[in-house]
């Protein structure tokens, strides 16, 4: 094509656009007035608008001869290590906020000291084809601060540069200045009167914390969480504990991610405290054993300090304790019996007062003490006043003497509780077993239910199982595959009808009505139609012989539309 004008050093006008030339494509220019010139690229700088600025110096062909003669322009290194600077390591970015702006503090180090080393920093936003340069920087320090960054995703690349301009391998890290993602999961760990919530993100982010809200009832509208739920705090996990966290009751956590930029939406999770009855009993044993009431109730009466026959009252008033003790004791040969009533108010090491009342009965025989007692007390436990009533005996029973009935209402003996009639509002049990040998009903901890006879009026949902001798009184719908060894009933329905006849042969129409009242397709099968005909001989008036044959035609229509029509002779 012809060049019609040259309005600028980097611009030409042509008569027509050559074939195959596209926008930003590569093309060549040939003019008699032009000659080839070579340039050496010194540096390439990326601009913020996606373009590049190239700095180059013109090549001098005479230099090739100098190089061919063995000249070397690279100075000898003064170290065994390469002159190319090593790649930076431990590159990290910490995002902070100040005066409504977001700052990114980048830090790194090098594996060895390089004289005169500098660092080239390149910060881009976005990823892939949408990546755009934000800024570049050159520094001799091992840290740099970027300020005034808008929210977005960033990639920072750092390279070491020596005094000759040689660059080391780049080190890259990514960081985000965005509101955090919602927690991917919330793990609720049950404890004794305690629930622990541990949120987790899909991708770990050390700059993200979690905000915890708690409610004893489900909140239908997430917009009402901040007004209806109780704020717990901010952290990586949170535990809620106390006597109000009762086993068998649902409690609700509302958790959202937070960082310097903002907060995510709430994620809901519900859980319960532990239902381990044995664990609760062990917990109570430890807690009760630490109370002043239990220690005093379990303490044996020292009969060696008592007279063989005595009944006395003793009063004690000290700086830490006021007490009234009534004691009745008797000794007979190798055995002794003592009754002691104690009323005590005492001060502990935390200057908390405790009020105790105890009635203890003790018998010592053959040097072995046997103790029974009842105690009531109020003292501080974990900083809160707590009242206790404790019974100490081999057997504890409650008897109602009404109408001369001496049958106990309940008896506790040998770590077992025996009760007569019980009415419970709710029952939480690890396992349930009815009386009888073998038991007629049982429910095991793994969910296995065994019953000899069950009448179920509601719905039953099951994934698998076996049924024997079952009767389905009403309709049954099977959406999957049905396999059966034997079937009795109306699976295939047969309709038998005779064709209408004339005086000598069958001729006419039979109509069968089928109700299409099910979702599945029906198959209608017509068995073979058998007929018997023959070859007939005939003579006309001219005594010429002719033959004719019997013919049967079957025509089938469905709703007036013909679907079969064939004949046979």
Chain segment 50-102, per-residue pLDDT in tens: 788 898 888 776 766 666 676 666 655 555 556 788 899 999 999 888 877 89
Kindly give, in sequence order, each residue whose CB lies less than 8 Å from that of residue 363, ignoring residues fewer than 6 positions away: 335, 336, 337, 338, 369, 370
Q: Are residues 293 and 219 in the same domain?
A: no
Q: What is the pLDDT of residue 68?
A: 65
Q: What is the pLDDT of residue 266?
A: 96
**Rounded distance between C-alpha atoms, residue 143 and residue 146, angstroms:** 10
Q: Are residues 283 and 271 in the same domain?
A: no
Q: What is the pLDDT of residue 64?
A: 66
Residue 536 inside a domain? The answer is no
Q: Are residues 201 and 259 in the same domain?
A: yes
Residue where the block lists tokens 């990326």: 46
Per residue in 298-333, pLDDT (tens digit) is 887 776 666 666 677 888 888 888 989 888 888 888
**Rounded distance between C-alpha atoms, residue 88 and residue 110, angstroms:** 5
Q: Are residues 299 and 383 in the same domain?
A: yes
Q: Would the CA dihedral through 370, 375, 380, 384 be positive or negative?
A: positive
Q: Are residues 264 and 349 in the same domain?
A: no
Residue 254's domain is classified under what CATH number?
2.60.40.10
Residue 258 inside a domain? The answer is yes
Q: What is the pLDDT of residue 78?
A: 55
Residue 157 inside a domain? The answer is no
Listed residues 244, 275, 306: the one ending a domain = 275
Q: Are residues 263 and 291 in the same domain?
A: no
Residue where the block lists tokens 């110096």: 57
Q: Which domain holds residue 265?
A: 185-275
Q: Are residues 285 and 382 in the same domain?
A: yes
The DSSP 8-state label assigned to residue 474 in this structure reads S
Q: Are residues 304 and 371 in the same domain?
A: yes
Q: Are residues 305 and 290 in the same domain?
A: yes
Q: Are residues 269 and 367 in the same domain?
A: no
Q: Are residues 319 and 225 in the same domain?
A: no
Residue 127 inside a domain? The answer is no
Residue 477 inside a domain? The answer is no
Q: What is the pLDDT of residue 291?
A: 86
Residue 194 inside a domain? The answer is yes
Residue 511 inside a domain? The answer is no
Q: Is the pTM of this model over 0.85?
A: no
In 29-117, which ranges are E strands? 39-46, 52-58, 89-98, 101-109
Listed residues 225, 255, 275: the one ending a domain = 275
Q: What is the pLDDT of residue 305?
A: 65
In 221-304, which ranges are E strands? 230-235, 238-241, 251-258, 267-271
Token readout for 386 is 């707590």
Residue 152 inside a domain? The answer is no
Residue 286 DSSP SS3: helix
Question: Tens-of-pLDDT digits for all 569 residues of the chain?
Answer: 788 888 887 788 888 888 888 877 878 777 777 777 788 888 888 887 778 889 888 877 676 666 667 666 665 555 555 678 889 999 999 988 887 789 999 999 988 877 889 999 999 998 877 788 999 999 999 999 999 899 899 999 999 998 888 889 999 999 988 889 999 999 999 999 999 999 999 988 888 999 999 999 999 998 999 999 999 999 999 999 988 999 889 999 999 999 988 899 999 999 999 988 888 888 888 888 888 888 888 887 776 666 666 677 888 888 888 989 888 888 888 888 889 899 999 988 888 899 999 999 989 888 888 889 999 999 988 778 989 999 999 898 888 777 666 778 889 998 888 888 888 888 888 788 888 888 888 988 888 888 888 888 888 888 888 888 888 888 888 888 888 888 776 677 788 877 787 777 778 888 888 877 777 777 888 888 887 778 878 777 677 777 778 888 888 898 889 998 988 88
**Rounded distance between C-alpha atoms, residue 391 and residue 373, angstroms:** 6
Which of 319, 320, 339, 321 lies closest to 330, judged by CA?
Answer: 339
The residues with which 230 forms a beta bridge, in sequence order, are 214
Token readout for 76 is 């000898």
Q: Are residues 258 and 310 in the same domain?
A: no
Listed residues 361, 393, 425: the one ending a domain = 393
Burial 276-307 (b: 16+ CB within 10 A, else e): eeeeeeeeeeeeeeebbbbebbeeebebeebe
Report the domain count for the chain: 3
């Amino acid at each position: 094509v012809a060049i019609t004008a040259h309005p600028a050093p980097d611009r030409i006008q042509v008569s027509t656009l050559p074939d195959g030339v596209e926008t930003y494509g590569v093309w060549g220019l040939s003019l008699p007035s032009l000659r080839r010139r070579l340039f050496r690229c010194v540096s390439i700088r990326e601009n913020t608008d996606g373009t590049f600025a190239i700095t180059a110096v013109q090549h001098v062909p005479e230099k090739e001869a100098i190089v061919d003669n063995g000249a070397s322009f690279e100075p000898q290194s003064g170290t065994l290590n390469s002159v190319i600077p090593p790649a930076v390591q431990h590159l990290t970015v910490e995002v902070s906020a100040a005066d409504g702006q977001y700052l990114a503090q980048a830090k790194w180090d090098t594996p060895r000291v390089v004289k005169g080393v500098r660092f080239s920093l390149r910060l881009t936003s976005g990823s892939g084809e949408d990546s755009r340069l934000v800024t570049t920087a050159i520094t001799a320090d091992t840290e740099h601060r970027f300020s005034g960054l808008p929210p977005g995703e960033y990639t920072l690349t750092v390279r070491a540069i020596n005094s000759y301009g040689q660059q080391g391998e780049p080190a890259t890290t990514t960081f985000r200045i965005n509101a955090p993602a919602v927690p991917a999961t919330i793990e609720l760990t049950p404890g004794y009167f305690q629930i622990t919530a541990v949120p987790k993100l899909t991708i770990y982010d050390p700059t993200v914390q979690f905000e915890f809200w708690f409610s004893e009832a489900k909140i239908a509208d997430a917009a009402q969480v901040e007004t209806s739920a109780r704020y717990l705090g901010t952290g990586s996990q949170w535990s809620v504990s106390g006597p109000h966290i009762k086993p068998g009751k649902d409690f609700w956590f509302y958790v959202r991610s937070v960082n310097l930029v903002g907060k995510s939406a709430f994620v809901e999770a519900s859980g319960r405290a532990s239902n381990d009855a044995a664990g609760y009993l062990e917990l109570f044993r430890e807690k009760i054993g630490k109370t002043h009431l239990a220690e005093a109730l379990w303490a044996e009466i020292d009969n060696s300090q008592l007279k063989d026959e005595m009944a006395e009252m003793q009063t004690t008033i000290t700086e830490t304790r006021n007490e009234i003790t009534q004691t009745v004791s008797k000794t007979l040969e190798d055995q002794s019996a003592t009754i002691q009533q104690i009323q005590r108010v005492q001060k502990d090491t935390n200057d908390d007062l405790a009020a105790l009342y105890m009635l203890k009965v003790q018998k010592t025989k053959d040097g072995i003490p046997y103790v029974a007692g009842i105690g009531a007390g109020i003292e501080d436990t974990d900083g809160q006043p707590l009242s206790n009533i404790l019974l100490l005996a081999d057997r504890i029973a409650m008897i109602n003497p009404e109408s001369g009935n001496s049958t106990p209402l309940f008896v506790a003996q040998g770590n077992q509780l025996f009760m007569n009639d019980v009415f419970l509002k709710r029952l939480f049990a690890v396992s349930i077993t009815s009386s009888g040998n073998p038991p007629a009903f049982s429910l095991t901890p793994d969910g296995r239910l065994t019953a000899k006879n069950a009448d179920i009026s509601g719905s039953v949902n099951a994934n698998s199982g076996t049924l024997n001798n079952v009767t389905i009184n009403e309709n049954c719908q099977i959406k999957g595959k049905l396999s059966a060894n034997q079937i009795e009933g109306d699976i295939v329905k047969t309709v038998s009808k005779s064709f209408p006849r004339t005086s000598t042969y069958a001729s006419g129409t039979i109509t069968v009505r089928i109700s299409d009242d099910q979702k599945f397709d029906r198959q209608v099968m017509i068995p073979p139609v058998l007929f018997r005909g023959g070859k007939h001989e005939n003579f006309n008036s001219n005594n010429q012989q002719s033959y004719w044959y019997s013919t049967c035609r079957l025509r089938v229509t469905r709703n007036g539309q013909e679907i079969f029509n064939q004949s046979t002779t």
